[in-house]
A and B are shown apart, each in its own frame.
Chain A
């Protein structure tokens, strides 16, 4: 499906289409990214702006020897995989259900969007409040239905803190999956579905053999974008526990943030962020390779 390039003007056409997006991106974000990357090579302390010696890879070596860095990296991994997996399954299920027709579908679609429509600050505070040891509604409900016999300090135990925050984030993010997948489902050819049904395919077979392959690219893109977003998100953790208890809910971006703004070790914070960026780059690379392979296969 190659267009015939007849003239130089034709040849330049795609670049013209790209120009607005590229210009805005490069103008606003490229310079800050490069500058922050450059800062990671300095011992830059925010309150000593005039004395930031160049230390090459010093910040990165410091990270390699920093147990808190490794701990945060581990937590980040649990954070990303756990949240994305649950959000994805829940979002896909929701999208498939919301694509069926029933009389209150419009209302159901709008209500499901609510968690996504709330600012993180509100989400963090409300969930902290609901998880409260004495006054929280979650402990109260679980006690009433007899699932637990004494309240649980959800956000103060090393074993429950990270999963508790992750649940809040799953709640916040699954509507995004639902909405984007729902939009993707609209491109599935009805004729193909009907043909499969006539051939005697079960509902599950139709899902696996017709629906999922048709929306594969949308699924992959949403997964990738959401992984990046979740990997970088820290505001809900910051509001709910600030990383505690101890280092139980430290993730890499949270650690970078605290280093940069609480300790004001901006150079080290920038280095930690850069490490996260490089790790995410591998995910992107894997995705782009896969997408390229799929394109050739076409």
Chain B
């Protein structure tokens, strides 16, 4: 009864395809690589050409997969892996590492990394953040973006406030900025809003350890955050279902004075606002403690790949200095390599500075199979109910506690 699944059939087809393949496998190794770029005009063709010129025995088959809020990309990936038709390597995020690992879909790359010259160009803390719970390295860092606070200098000047450094300053500023139909803060309560909530609540004392969501500090921080909407009314009433499109659009249109996002949207906002936008790290508690989300993106080689070495050659090529700089130029994020970061000129300096200044407090969500469900479903439904007053802020935190430690 146990192994009734799709696996059986895919086993048979995998066998069939191995029988069929040898005829053309002789000449060059083909590496299938999946990626997702925000800009449909951006194409990795130049990088592929450069790589193939240097490695004539390897062909890269790059496939662009729709992101679809993350759902489409991962549904497609999991389906392909289950069917035995997955790519050799792909762009992946940490919130799915635990699931892929539990599926035994990932190939460890420790040995290959050890022999890779350019590994030391990636900072140690990024290697640490991307290490799996079993101590092995499966993810090769590719790019990053740290969540920070965007603000409108003109509106701040008019309200006579400075960009906030602490939670208290943030609260005061948001209140002062809220007038005449403009709201101080464009809170993101819809999908992906964890990155708005995290700096205030995880930075305010909550954590994912047992009891970490229901400690006094955690509950108080969450009450304050939910209170921005329910009591202070410094966020638009549409906050419960606002996603990044809405918060960025409202910010660009001058309907909100602050919003929380990262360098990935910087060029888009600058295109509309020009110099009238800047960024600072997210606010922290008075004692200097804080938290912000390290928005990660890595490459992984899949365990089913028969071309693991060639695949690693390609993904390590992408994470090397000038190639990495060219890559982040296509995606709008930041280079994980020191050399690449120096070469990258695709963002106005103030946003890179705000990102780098945020790194000391940047963290990731737990490396658990539950994390993707937390960000995708459990967090939004509970947060939205709390924003609407259907449940108390404390009940929301109890639901998170139950999910991770119940």
Q: What residues make up the interface of A, taking CB atoms closer than 8 Å to B?
A: 35, 38-39, 42, 44, 46-54, 128, 132-135, 153, 155-158, 161, 241-247, 258, 261-264
Contact = CB atoms under 8 A, between A and B. Distances in A.
B238 A132 contact: yes
Given A132-B246, A134-B236, A244-B241, A49 B82 contact: yes
Given A52-B2, A245-B241, A262 B387 contact: no
Chain B at the A interface: SS class:
helix
Contacts of A157: 237, 388
A47 B99 contact: yes
B71 A261 contact: yes
Contacts of A245: 189, 240-241, 384-385, 387-388
A44 B373 CA distance: 16
A242 B99 contact: no
Top 3 nearest A-B pairs (CB, nearest first) are A133-B238, A245-B240, A245-B384
A157 to B, nearest CB: 8
B381 A247 contact: yes
Nearest to B102: A47
Given A52-B4, A153-B238, A156-B242, 10 more contacts: A50-B5, A135-B253, A153-B236, A156-B189, A156-B240, A157-B388, A242-B190, A242-B380, A264-B369, A264-B372
A54 B5 CA distance: 11
Contact of A53 (B2, B100, B240): B2
Contacts of A132: 238, 246, 249
A265 to B, nearest CB: 9
Given A47-B78, A155-B238, A244 B3 contact: no
B255 A135 contact: yes
Of A35, A49, A157, A243, most buried by chain B (CB within 10 Å of CB) is A49
B399 to A, nearest CB: 12
Interface string B235-254: 01111111001100110010
Interface in B185-209: 189-191
B134 to A, nearest CB: 15
Contact of A46 (B2, B78, B191): B78
6 contacts: A38-B4, A47-B103, A48-B102, A153-B236, A153-B237, A242-B191
A198 to B, nearest CB: 59
Contacts of A263: 373, 377
A47 B369 contact: yes
B102 A244 contact: no
A246 B381 contact: yes
Interface string B59-102: 00000000001010011001000100000000000000001101
Interface of B: 1-7, 69, 71, 74-75, 78, 82, 99-100, 102-103, 189-191, 236-242, 245-246, 249-250, 253, 255, 369, 372-373, 376-377, 380-381, 384-385, 387-388, 390
Contacts of A128: 245
Contacts of B377: 258, 262-263
B341 to A, nearest CB: 34
Nearest to B255: A134
B82 A246 contact: no
A247 B253 CA distance: 30
A246 B5 contact: no
A135 to B, nearest CB: 6
Contacts of B1: 53-54
A22 B261 CA distance: 52
A156 B4 contact: no
Nearest to A265: B373
A134 B237 CA distance: 10
A143 to B, nearest CB: 11
A52 B306 CA distance: 27
Nearest to B243: A242
Contacts of B2: 50-54
A111 B329 CA distance: 43
A135 B253 CA distance: 8
B4 A246 contact: no
Contacts of A155: 238, 241
Contacts of B191: 242
A134 B100 contact: no
Given A38-B4, A153-B238, A264-B373, A246 B390 contact: yes
Contacts of B381: 243-244, 246-247
B238 A156 contact: yes
B5 A44 contact: yes
B5 A49 contact: yes
Contact of B241 (A39, A135, A161): A161
Among B242, B381, B385, the one with the most A-chain Cβ atoms within 10 Å of its Cβ is B381
A244 B240 contact: yes
Contact of A42 (B4, B75, B242, B255): B4
Contacts of A50: 2-3, 5, 7
B236 A133 contact: yes
A6 to B, nearest CB: 46
A52 B2 CA distance: 6
B228 to A, nearest CB: 15
Contact of A49 (B7, B236, B249, B387): B7
Residue of A46, A54, A155 with most chain B CB atoms under a 10 A cut-off: A46
B20 to A, nearest CB: 22
Given A48-B103, A49-B5, A49-B7, A261 B75 contact: yes
Contacts of A264: 78, 99, 369, 372-373
A242 B387 CA distance: 16
B253 A134 contact: yes
Contacts of A153: 236-238, 240
Contact of B390 (A158, A243, A258): A158
A286 B387 CA distance: 43
B50 to A, nearest CB: 34
A47 B384 CA distance: 28
A1 B176 CA distance: 82
Contacts of B237: 133, 153, 156-157
A174 to B, nearest CB: 25
Contacts of A35: 6
